Amino acid sequence: MVHILRPDEVKAKYGSLFCKGFITMVDEENGVAQIVEKCVARGPGEWDVVNRRRTGGVIKDIRMEGHTLIMNVEIGEKKLNFGPVSKDVGGQGLSALKVEGDRVRMTWYGIAGATVGIGACIAQCPDVIETIYPDDFQIGGAHTAHVDIITPKRVRVIIGIDDTDTKEKGASWVTALKLGTTCPIGSFIDHKIIQLNPKAPNKTTNCCSTAVSFAVKEEEIPALIEYCRDFIKSESYSDDTVMTVFKGLTIPKKLQEFGWNAKSVLFIQDDAIKVAEECGVQIISITGMKGVIGAVAAIGCFDLGPKAAGVPEDFE
């Protein structure tokens, strides 16, 4: 037997705790998912990073940015390995992540204080649909416990943007950040500024494109694209604005290479259009087409970390 609690019921039972965001994005075609977990402080997150990395399971890698944990996960199930230290220092891990229709089911295990994290803290986050507890669940102390946490299935959509400004006014990165922080559809996840080839003849000043990512339900994607297109058009000062769209957690290698090379190579528009067609990138002309190279490159560079913001010589 099990019992099921909604986030508000978990909060009423255990009191208000600290998880402020718990978003699950899946890429079923590539068999991967990404969990974005937001906490109010670094301490719990740093502890989680060390312990979840130690236990393995379906977590492929985990990192912390500010107060946010980002976990790249395999879709499926794997045995956890708490190791010989678990009886002394506790532990926490994710043994399974499975897609069930429009929901994602995750099986979390915790030892000692880590049971609070999975059974009371994450479980009361508003992003969670419900948490399924076994009848013998006990929290805290020296107990070992597991729960199934159910969240909505979301996908990642990246919107690339270039050429919204002129030499006199505007900045594409500002337009993108305003878009991300004000968009009413889905959840804003990330924003990137992409430095492109500073020798490009048609640049404004810094020759940067930009991109933002959202976690949305599949059925929300058309509305998101329409909203972004209208927003960018209303904010653009240029006759050459282009928007690109990519769905998924795995940027194709060829697209990443194009993005990186756009920092040193002078591509033509046809080069960008070709790689976009081959890699599943939708190109939308907002006011023209000259921004297509930067808008496609913005998708390619999105997951490159700090490299997105620099040129090759910055990392030699």
Q: How far apart are CA 252 and CA 239, in angstroms?
A: 30
Q: How far apart are CA 152 and CA 28, in angstroms?
A: 14
Contact of 311 with 196, CB cutoff 8 Å: no
What is the chain's length? 316
Q: How far apart are CA 37 and CA 151, in angstroms?
A: 12
User: How confident is the model at residue 140, as a pLDDT?
Assistant: 74
Task: Work out the widest C-alpha separation in the chain, in whole angstroms.
Answer: 68
Q: What is the mean pLDDT of each run of 10 residues along the chain (316 residues)?
A: 95 96 98 97 93 92 96 96 60 95 96 89 97 90 87 98 78 94 97 90 74 98 98 94 98 98 94 98 97 96 95 84
Q: How far apart are CA 164 and CA 286, in angstroms?
A: 9
Number of neighbouring beta carbons within 10 Å of residue 243: 28
The torsion of the CA quartet 103, 104, 105, 106, rounded to 10 degrees, works out to: -160
All domains of the chain in start order, with CATH: 2-152 (no CATH), 155-315 (3.30.70.2200)
* Residue where the block lists tokens 């756009």: 262
Q: How far apart are CA 99 and CA 28, in angstroms?
A: 8
User: How confident is the model at residue 314, as a pLDDT?
Assistant: 84
User: How confident is the model at residue 89, as a pLDDT?
Assistant: 53
User: How confident is the model at residue 144, as a pLDDT?
Assistant: 82
User: How confident is the model at residue 20, as a pLDDT?
Assistant: 96
User: How confident is the model at residue 201, as a pLDDT?
Assistant: 65
